[in-house]
Amino acid sequence: MRARLSPGLLVGSGLVLMLLLVLPTLALLLRSARPALGSALLDPTVTAALRLSLTTTAVSLLATVVFGTPVAYLLARYAFRGKVVLEALLDLPLVLPPVVAGLALLLLVGRRGLLGAPLAAIGVHVAFTSTAVVLAQLFVASPLYIRSMKAAFRSTPRSLEAAAITLHATRLRAFRRVTLPLTLPAFVEGCVLTWTRALGEFGATIVVAGSLAGRTQTMPLAIYAELERNLDAALAMGAILTLAAFGLLLLFRRLTRSA
């Protein structure tokens, strides 16, 4: 009896799925590798979408880290009534179809929405603005960060923090100097996953923020619109997103391996 299956069998049976996972990306990159696509990148629609995607995802990532870290810590370290329900609710956006997320957000912040109506009364409009783009990204992507950090906080022994405190470190200092460095790989993972998910956000965004070049038309929305107008621009943007995502995943592998 052999302890392991032969690599040949594994490769053979896995090949079908592996090809399916790799070939589409390859087809996109092959089709995109043309000099004409360089000039497509200078199209004002493309540059506007690129700028908007970078700024909105930067804001949503920052907000995720600032507001998500305490949530993850709370869920990892404290027990309270209804925690199971709360955790399920916070994971819900991950399994919800994005278009449903967009509809839910629109019914919240839209002109006649739950919060949108009172906000409109004081002259604040959220739907169809860049703020709505950020909200959509936060809604669908931040749970990924919370999950990563929650697991990391849980696996960091409390005794290490306690030891630091007995050595006259303040609680905050113990958290900063002991807990945070130990959770660094999870932090990087959470950030990469959240950022790439936000960058790719389409369904929720198009419903709650609409699609207007320069204001709410992020890269995925621009790709969808340009498919029917300027295929080169769509291909160029598709290639950029693919390469950026792949680069980040590679970087993440390296970082976690060295950590």
Partner 1 sequence: MTRFLRWALATLLAAALTAAAAQTVTVFAASSLTDAFTALAHSFEAANPSVHVVLDFAASSTLATQILQGAPADVFASANEVQMQRVTEAGLQTGPPTPFAGNRLVVLVPAGSGLRAFRDLARPGLLLVLAAQQVPAGRYADLMFDAAARAYGADFVQKVRSNIVSREPNVRQTAAKVALGAADAAIVYATDADGLSGVRSIGVPASLQPTILYPLVTLKGAAAPAAVRAFRDFVLSPAGRTALAGFGFTAPP
Positions that interact with partner 1 (CB under 8 A): 106-107, 110-113, 125, 127-129, 206, 209-213, 215-216, 224-225, 227-229
Cβ atoms within 10 Å of 122's Cβ, excluding its own: 6
Handedness of CA 15, 18, 23, 29 (dihedral sign): negative
Comparison of 106 and 193: residue with beta carbon closer to partner 1: 106
CB of 55 to partner 1, least distance (A): 18
CB of 187 to partner 1, least distance (A): 36
Specify the DSSP class assigned to residue 3: S
Write down the H helix ranges in the chain: 7-32, 36-40, 44-77, 83-95, 98-109, 116-121, 130-155, 158-166, 171-174, 180-182, 184-200, 203-208, 219-226, 231-258
Nearest distance, CB of residue 85 and partner 1, angstroms = 29
Nearer to partner 1, 50 or 209 (CB): 209
Nearest approach in angstroms of CB 104 to partner 1 is 12
User: What is the end-to-end Cα distance of the chain in Å, rounded?
Assistant: 37
**What type of residue is 212?**
L
Query: Residue 231 has which token pair?
Result: 């295929």
Residue 212 φ then ψ, to 5°: -135, 120
In sequence order, what are the residues at sequence separation of 6 or more whose Cβ sits closer than 8 angstroms to the Cβ of residue 113?
106, 107, 127
CB of 211 to partner 1, least distance (A): 6
Q: How far is the CB of 244 from partner 1 (least distance, A)?
A: 24
Nearer to partner 1 by Cβ, of 113 and 200: the residue is 113
